[in-house]
Structure 1
Amino acid sequence: MSNLFATVETPVAKYEQPTGLFINNEWVKGAEGKTFETINPTNEKPIISVCEATEKDVDTAVAAARAAFEGSWRQVTPSERGRLINKLADLMERDIDTLAAIEALDNGKAFTMAKVDTANAIGCLRYYAGWADKIHGQTIDTNPETLTYTRHEPVGVCGQIIPWNFPLLMWSWKIGPAVAAGNTVVMKTAEQTPLSGLYAAKLIKEAGFPPGVINVISGFGRVAGAAISSHMDIDKIAFTGSTLVGRTILQAAAKSNLKKVTLELGGKSPNIVFDDADIDNAISWSNFGIFFNHGQCCCAGSRILVQEGLYDKFVARFKERASQNKLGNPFEQDTFQGPQVSQLQFDRIMEYINHGKQAGATVAVGGDRYGKEGYFIQPTVFTDVTSDMKIAQEEIFGPVVTIQKFKDEAEAIKIGNSTDYGLAAAVHTKNVNTAIRVSNALKAG
């Protein structure tokens, strides 16, 4: 293979990993020749180095996307767009074990869960492939002498910046709808987890997409991401990530060409458990809701609110359940929780845990690192928490959950709505009226 590919071996598959920038259906080096290492979070060792995109590379990728949008891609029929997306999904399905292994290696998530993510990424592409020839306008009855109709047209060149928590799934979530609607794409992978997105880019050319339709680059947010956000020839930007970066992207879009912006940002979701809830289900879903994907999920149920009549029993059972979560090598079959994605994320989570201790909250479970190697953090449960504490207000994005007691429905709603976030929420009760009433009152969704 060329020097823009590297042989990588995982416990599941040995494969050839692209390391270059995928621009105009070709693998190229960055304009400035820079590279950066991607780290295996399980052992803290480098996997390989990949090319680092700079502002010049973003310009090149955008030019390729613009040329494709104004040229060959406009001639491709909607049904053909759907066929190409389905072909890409076919190739990903063929390589599903390799893609899942890359996710487990580069991100640290359990291989079993990575395989679920990959299957969902494939399903996402198939869903949008089905939409490609079903995007219709309307004819509007006005008067006999006038033909009035609407039609939906593609926006143009879409800049897309994806996060590191679900790399391949976010890759599909962004690319699928944009391409199905007839747009072209410049995608930046997360610098912490570039490998699966680059491997999937290899399949784009194999699927038969014309040059320039989908361009995938690796690089840092402060350079390549900033260049995408402020680029004058990008018509729309889609970003999933932190609220802080989302604000920066909005500002850059406004200061440049007022490009359209879609943001999916952070959360601090309440998980409300009433006295009449099925405690077994509430324990199971609450455990999954926060510790799934190591807590690195924007809609994680990181605040559990339990009614006072069930509180003591729930806390005792939840502590036991959280302590049973298996931490370890992502490639071991029974692993539920792998390492956090990076040293930076590990340090950030530990800082929140220490802050919770200093604020007077009680560590009921965990509260420390796990093992001596890798970015592992014990599942951590805080009790004796008040709503004004930092750990109850800010997104931690790790395996850390707070449990608070509430007296009645009104107090549950008040606590549930006491943060700046409003992404998701859950209600556990056997009373349908309570479930609907509380769901409607929560500022989430």
Structure 2
Amino acid sequence: MTTSNKRDLIAAIPTGLFIGGQWVEAQSGKRCDVIDPATEDVIASIADGGAEDAERAIEVAAAVQDSWARTAPRARSEILRRAYEQMMERQDELASIITAEMGKPLAEARGEVAYAAEFFRWFSEEAVRIGGDATVSGDGRTRIIVSKAPVGPCVLVTPWNFPLAMGTRKIGPAIAAGCTMVFKPAHLTPLSSFALVEILREAGLPDGVLNVVCSSDPGSVVEPWMRSGKARKVSFTGSTAVGVRLLEQASQHIMRSSMELGGNAPFIVFDDADVDAAVDGLMIAKLRNMGEACTAANRIFVQRNVADEFARRLTERMSALVVGDGIDPATQIGPLIEPKAVEKVISLVSDAVRRGARILCGGQAPEGRGYYFPPTVLVDVDPESELMSTEIFGPVAAVIAFDDECDAIRLANDTQWGLVGYAFTQDVDRAFRLQEAIEVGMLGINTGLVSNPAAPFGGVKESGLGREGGRTGIEEFLEVRYLALPRSIPANV
């Protein structure tokens, strides 16, 4: 994709607020810039919403809820299916938008489009399978009829790191369940979401079902939605600190809440593992999205007698990666999202080095335009280093040796987070022991990739509440209703 093609593509994307089926400007008239992190150029200016816009959006969503809930499941299913097909037809276009606004290489961005689209296909199938139950009470005197209904208007808040997939992962089940939505995508990467809105319009989504308000001040938009009393559910992906605040706000109206929050994923390599396969797995688990992922391997624990060999092979792979603008087909590692992301990684690496860590490759941000940090491998890392208790969100692999299985489990669980973990071993019994012992919502054995629309995504401890995707994903948007009917018992029974 050339620079001129990128400009033309971005110029065709609407940049307003989307309320009641119309693109409109913010009431304040304010706009904010979208920056290409590879070049630091302004690539778009978008409407910068505020409280008045948010209030209008939730009013519209509430007004449309009843009629949308009555829509036939098959109609909702077909909207999602058409949207899925359009996304796949426009995969290159959508990938280019993702690369332009958040920096990931084009090949990886195409993968995100396919992953994002699959949520629409998955939930198009779930829409027509919303079930219930019918039984009889123990005394035989009551028929118990259980059905499910849309929870109501939903507040959806997504992060910048997977700007398309995080939207479809929430919008898909909401549409399938019959819920209207107010949606705030991240202001750093809004263009993918705006393109998605247009796809859903073309797929036949009725006006008012999805309303989008982007803002450089997220609280000014989300807080009015939370206190409105009209929203009945909040689904948020982001930091644990923000999730705590939203849960406090949700408690005021007893809102259903789904929270996909921070992660501090352990990656464990046992001495019986295939070391090359483990390195392959870590390259995926660590470097997907330049390490800017809640599922990224953050703490790499390698059994002591293979730790040096693992670090050597990992360093060979990491140091050979091509860093650059994601629009270049040769690029394997793109920029980080913004300057403070680079500053954070520099600070974490510097702290580890002060505590005795050695840098085997990378470790220093390059000069010049763009928010870059090179793939970095650290060994001899002090367990008290800040990067052991902080989401790194960058291409930094910190390798720590451990002695035995009990030691590995203790280290893995030594965190308040519990989203995902990874382990490489040839011992099947050990794999099941780890599944029972490691405190995470998801565990990958001999794989560095666990995300799948057909699987329930989510964590334990301070990594969140609820699950997205899989058969449970749509349940987060449904209420259970119970109907009691008296049942006569024949006199001769």
The two structures have a TM-score, normalised by structure 1, of 0.94
- The within-5 A match list for 1:141-152 is 141-142=136-137, 146-152=142-148
> Distance in 1 between the 2:222 and 2:384 partners?
34
> Distance in 1 between the 2:303 and 2:266 partners?
13
Could you tell me whether the CA contact under 8 Å between 1:110 and 1:337 is conserved in 2?
yes
Match of 2:261 in 1: 265
Match of 1:327 in 2: 323
> Distance in 1 between the 2:272 and 2:142 partners?
62
Q: Using the TM superposition, name which of 319-328 and 103-112 deviates more.
A: 319-328
> Distance in 2 between the 1:297 and 1:275 partners?
27
**3-state SS of paired residue (2:311):** helix
The runs of 5 or more residues in structure 1 that have no matched partner are 1-6
Alignment counterpart, residue 440 of structure 1, candidates 432, 436, 454: 436
Could you tell me whether the CA contact under 8 Å between 1:160 and 1:187 is conserved in 2?
yes
Root-mean-square deviation (CA, aligned residues, Å) is 1.7
Say whether residues 1:399 and 2:399 are aligned partners.
no
Could you tell me whether the CA contact under 8 Å between 1:191 and 1:219 is conserved in 2?
yes
Match of 1:224 in 2: 221
Deviation at 1:347, TM superposition (A): 1.9
Match of 1:69 in 2: 65
Alignment counterpart, residue 196 of structure 1, candidates 175, 186, 192: 192
- The within-5 A match list for 1:312-391 is 312-391=308-387
Match of 1:240 in 2: 237
Deviation at 1:144, TM superposition (A): 6.2
**3-state SS of paired residue (1:164):** coil
What is the letter of the counterpart of residue 151 of structure 2?
V
What is the letter of the counterpart of residue 73 of structure 1?
W
Say whether residues 1:81 and 2:76 are aligned partners.
yes
Could you tell me whether the CA contact under 8 Å between 1:204 and 1:214 is conserved in 2?
no
Say whether residues 1:107 and 2:134 are aligned partners.
no
* Greater RCO structure (CA 8 Å; 6+ sep): 2
Say whether residues 1:132 and 2:135 are aligned partners.
no
Deviation at 1:91, TM superposition (A): 2.3
Cα displacement string for residues 116-144 of structure 1 (whole angstroms, at most 9, x for unaligned residues): 11011111101101111110110112366
Deviation at 1:12, TM superposition (A): 9.4
Could you tell me whether the CA contact under 8 Å between 2:7 and 2:43 is conserved in 1?
no
% identical equivalent positions: 34
What is the letter of the counterpart of residue 376 of structure 1?
Y
Could you tell me whether the CA contact under 8 Å between 1:68 and 1:210 is conserved in 2?
no
Match of 1:3 in 2: none
Say whether residues 1:29 and 2:25 are aligned partners.
yes
Could you tell me whether the CA contact under 8 Å between 2:268 and 2:422 is conserved in 1?
yes
Q: Using the TM superposition, name which of 206-215 and 34-43 deviates more.
A: 206-215
Alignment counterpart, residue 51 of structure 1, candidates 42, 47, 53: 47
Could you tell me whether the CA contact under 8 Å between 1:387 and 1:418 is conserved in 2?
no
Match of 1:207 in 2: 203
Cα displacement string for residues 360-389 of structure 1 (whole angstroms, at most 9, x for unaligned residues): 322222111135110010112221112222
> Distance in 1 between the 2:31 and 2:223 partners?
18
Match of 1:4 in 2: none
**3-state SS of paired residue (1:211):** coil
Aligned residues, how many? Answer: 437
Deviation at 1:15, TM superposition (A): 5.5
Match of 1:38 in 2: 34
Runs of 4+ in 1 over 6 A off after TM superposition: none
> Distance in 2 between the 1:144 and 1:419 partners?
50
**3-state SS of paired residue (2:432):** helix
Q: Using the TM superposition, name which of 171-180 and 364-373 deviates more.
A: 364-373
The runs of 5 or more residues in structure 2 that have no matched partner are 442-493
What is the letter of the counterpart of residue 96 of structure 1?
Q
**3-state SS of paired residue (1:153):** strand
Assess, with a 3 A threshold, how the Cα gap between structure 1 residues 225 and 74 changes in structure 2: closer, same or farther: closer
Could you tell me whether the CA contact under 8 Å between 1:198 and 1:217 is conserved in 2?
no
**3-state SS of paired residue (1:377):** coil
**3-state SS of paired residue (1:132):** helix
Match of 2:479 in 1: none
Cα displacement string for residues 257-316 of structure 1 (whole angstroms, at most 9, x for unaligned residues): 121111001111111111111011011111221111100010111111111111111111
Assess, with a 3 A threshold, how the Cα gap between structure 1 residues 403 and 381 changes in structure 2: closer, same or farther: same
Q: Using the TM superposition, name which of 138-147 and 299-308 deviates more.
A: 138-147
> Distance in 2 between the 1:152 and 1:111 partners?
41
Q: Using the TM superposition, name which of 168-177 and 15-24 deviates more.
A: 15-24
**3-state SS of paired residue (1:133):** helix
